[in-house]
Structure 1
């Protein structure tokens, strides 16, 4: 097995917790329990059953494939696949209702495109009593099969290794398992390898887990937990917390959390955050993130580098807009921790987790509606695609207005009440202007921003969806705070729920319905929007 990379640098402080720090940690843990961030023994038992059931299904699937490939009976009997959870479950920070991310490691003769996404998908679909909401997503950056098994959301990825038989004790930390694999397969194996390496590199796993639960709870409350939206996902937050744990190896969680915000509020981005040194392996030859060697890597704004070979940037989706918001929220967290330490407000740790007031922070918004004609299953698929393109809309708005409009994307989706099989889910992007050092312009000279062309370009991008079909629609409109739809205001418990949303479309040139071309082929819809922010 290859030598393990060493931790980065020396710690900042070796100070141990005082009795007051331990008491504060107990208060923090109690708050996290009250927030539902620890699952009950009954829920743990259900998850264990889900993993056992899934292991049985994939074992039967591999034996079926071995038989179909003509292997002898002894080989068929020996055929198995590994099922390994990763993500929050493997790190030990999952809570009530958390998803299970799991990796299936199969033999060399079981491929992803057909055997996993067709044959295994059919086997799962046949489990009608336990499997629901089955949704293969083969075109994702990490191809995934989503489902609910016994009511638990499971995201399943697949990696085929260069072995005819996958042993139950296969050591994925040995990088030789990566030899001869393509980039996508290496990424699929990375979830397990990265989680294990993070736990190996932190000085105190228990303190790390509590601090990470706290930071994830904070990030979700402040609207900066979403890799697909260009914020930070679970892996990135875990690496950031782990780095602070390395810098303060003897600290209790109540000490680590304030230091987390202090360290990151002062971090000199784009200097990368790393838990260990970057290693290259010319024999295996997989691409590795390395800003010293790769000019493209130096363009990343907030690099947070995974610790297992081949190391990658877990924050490649971060844009100038989301970086600005992340930095603002980290600074706000730093201020909140200072006030908590000083006894201000009298609310203790709960002051850190106050939700960001997104719908009172801006006067106007872009509302992006993803609509389907075929029910909730179809909506789940379509809105996932629309959500993945929203960061492009944010970038285009800021670019097309030369930074005169700033965008703040809300990673939450808001579902309208279905009308029969027609379902709509809405996303919102808050709009604001940069703080001006000069006096404001007179009312008559306020600039107006016509974003019809920008919205057009976004819609064209969305309608490049590989699996688009009639009935999948998207619309963009400008809506002011007082005109937010009632299904949003009711969810955020706002008293302003009487207004009707106002469309700012140029109706003569906009459409979100499907039309037929002269040749009988179906054209994908388009639309325009016009924005006049105050």
Structure 2
């Protein structure tokens, strides 16, 4: 039953108008690349190669479906557009990742093209006319795909493999959300607000263990069901107040509108017997129901609950005191919140190789987070939602080793002076990911030194990423190392952050380092006393046959003089 069926008051409507203006000011736009003709041409070529007649090849069809934020009507500028390529039964997934990828590569408007066929949901990522697009694939058991095809029919899922079911479900779940929402205009406005807030607070990333777009949409849709006649401003206010008090891990489910098989399927308690390990379960409404938040960890859950509580208090002030809605969308303080961080640095020698390698490393960061959560004296491991990439020119093995460890002493490609000779330089592509480490305050009166041994989590993470079947130690590098907040590079800090980091713990002003400080001489590989050196590409040495350059070991962190930053507790 709805909690309230009350209609919005005059103040509620005025608050909604102010919210709408704020959202317009953020420059949210809806964009979409049109790929339908290419998909039909792709299917046509495959059919001809498999000796189908000209007429049958033309009739085979193929269709592009959109889902996610674009389909929901809340897409913002710069956000990936989720698309699904649906093909008939005689087109294989291998054709998609070969023929379709080749067709896209030949288009001059396609850039940053990379395929991830081994992902949980296989995908081709690209920029099409500067529009970021994620293109997934589903092969249905039909001889042709008409333009009138509707994916809502459950029978279309028969005999499909798991990857195709997951791909199709993206579109099916989006359509089901829209069907179950009582007031679509209010839902869309509220969801735009929540998505923008989550992005600004750096908690919008399914890959990093936070919530992705579909999870945020289902949460907002559930609040809309509880307040079917509320305006967007009221929905947002209720959204935060409900979520920070939600009895997790009780799952969030959308309530079906009518009686029938869907209701039995969604509300059957046996469905969640295998989901006890999920920290914040949010269950998709379309068959087969799945948990959309299986990546959430104890740390990311704690961060989100803290953000929900803070936002609930702020929105209450916005509604009552009429402070500007823009106050809700302040930038996160991730790079000033902690005194200790881990850097995960992925490096490669070519752009194409780096797109694959850095994508693999990024997708495994959450595994490092779950292992860090087991470290003694570590309260919380908070991953940042994106990496920082750059292309670096180097001339010597030492310069390459420095770049692979985040110490940039040579100019980037964009900063290369005209006098530099290309023949004298080589190129390295790097992506750096950060994890904030929350350390508890020392107990009153205690003078004992405390240590955090990060060796085991690091070692297990290195094993995970290097077990990738396409990992090549000659051209790919991976480094995990501790860094203090005072040594964070300038590119991760905005002006406000840099002002904050200019003050040391004692309050005295200090210089802001733009690169990592010089480290001690790096030791060779050793397994003694539980220390494993970081890995850099074997290609970093200038002379073939010489030993691989190695990095300084990841130190245990002395936290005896560290006070706890203001962060949520696990």
TM-score between the two structures when normalised by the length of structure 2: 0.82
Q: Contact 2:341–2:434 (CA<8 Å) still a contact in 1?
A: yes
Cα 1:316–1:524 change in 2 (3 A) is farther
The number of aligned residues is 497
CA–CA separation in structure 2 for the residues paired with 1:145 and 1:64 = 19
CA–CA separation in structure 2 for the residues paired with 1:435 and 1:290 = 45
Give 1:461's match in structure 2, choosing from 461, 464, 470: 464
Q: Contact 2:15–2:319 (CA<8 Å) still a contact in 1?
A: no
Q: Tell me by how many angstroms 1:80 deviates.
A: 0.8
Secondary structure (helix, strand or coil) at the match of 1:136 reads strand
Give CA deviations for 1:289-344 in whole Å, capped at 9, x if unaligned. Answer: 9753554312211100111000100000011111111111111111111222231x
Cα 1:268–1:119 change in 2 (3 A) is same
Q: Contact 1:305–1:312 (CA<8 Å) still a contact in 2?
A: yes
Name the Cα RMSD after superposition.
2.6
Q: Which residue of 2 aligns with 1:11?
A: 2
Q: Tell me by how many angstroms 1:506 deviates.
A: 6.9
Give 1:169's match in structure 2, choosing from 126, 131, 148: 148
CA–CA separation in structure 1 for the residues paired with 2:101 and 2:495 = 35
Cα 1:508–1:74 change in 2 (3 A) is closer
Give 1:314's match in structure 2, choosing from 292, 312, 315: 292
Give 2:374's match in structure 1, choosing from 392, 399, 403: 399
Cα 1:511–1:478 change in 2 (3 A) is closer
Give CA deviations for 1:129-181 in whole Å, capped at 9, x if unaligned. Answer: 22222211100010001122112111111111111111211121111111111
Q: Which residue of 2 aligns with 1:433?
A: 439
Q: Contact 2:206–2:293 (CA<8 Å) still a contact in 1?
A: yes
Give CA deviations for 1:448-472 in whole Å, capped at 9, x if unaligned. Answer: 1122232222112121222212221
CA–CA separation in structure 2 for the residues paired with 1:453 and 1:504 = 22
Gaps of 5+ in 2: 394-425, 503-511, 526-532, 540-544, 563-570
Q: Tell me by how many angstroms 1:493 deviates.
A: 5.3
1:354 pairs with 2:330: yes
Give 2:430's match in structure 1, choosing from 424, 431, 437: 424
Give CA deviations for 1:337-383 in whole Å, capped at 9, x if unaligned. Answer: 1222231xx642112111221111111111111122213x4333322
Gaps of 5+ in 1: 1-9, 282-286
Q: How does 1:317-336 map to 2 (within 5 A)?
A: 317-336=295-314
Q: Tell me by how many angstroms 1:412 deviates.
A: 2.4
CA–CA separation in structure 1 for the residues paired with 2:550 and 2:121 = 29
CA–CA separation in structure 1 for the residues paired with 2:440 and 2:336 = 17
Q: Contact 2:391–2:428 (CA<8 Å) still a contact in 1?
A: no
CA–CA separation in structure 1 for the residues paired with 2:36 and 2:65 = 9
Give 1:69's match in structure 2, choosing from 13, 31, 50: 50
CA–CA separation in structure 1 for the residues paired with 2:471 and 2:432 = 19
Q: Contact 2:378–2:437 (CA<8 Å) still a contact in 1?
A: no
Q: How does 1:274-423 map to 2 (within 5 A)?
A: 274-276=253-255, 292-293=270-271, 295-343=273-321, 347-375=323-351, 377-401=352-376, 404-416=378-390, 418-419=392-393, 421-423=427-429
CA–CA separation in structure 2 for the residues paired with 1:32 and 1:260 = 17
TM-score between the two structures when normalised by the length of structure 1: 0.87
Stretch deviating more after TM superposition (445-454 or 55-64)? 445-454
Secondary structure (helix, strand or coil) at the match of 1:342 reads helix
CA–CA separation in structure 2 for the residues paired with 1:295 and 1:506 = 50
Q: How does 1:176-325 map to 2 (within 5 A)?
A: 176-276=155-255, 292-293=270-271, 295-325=273-303
1:84 pairs with 2:65: yes
Secondary structure (helix, strand or coil) at the match of 1:299 reads coil
Cα 1:29–1:378 change in 2 (3 A) is farther
Q: Tell me by how many angstroms 1:525 deviates.
A: 8.2
Q: Tell me by how many angstroms 1:391 deviates.
A: 1.2
CA–CA separation in structure 2 for the residues paired with 1:143 and 1:440 = 55
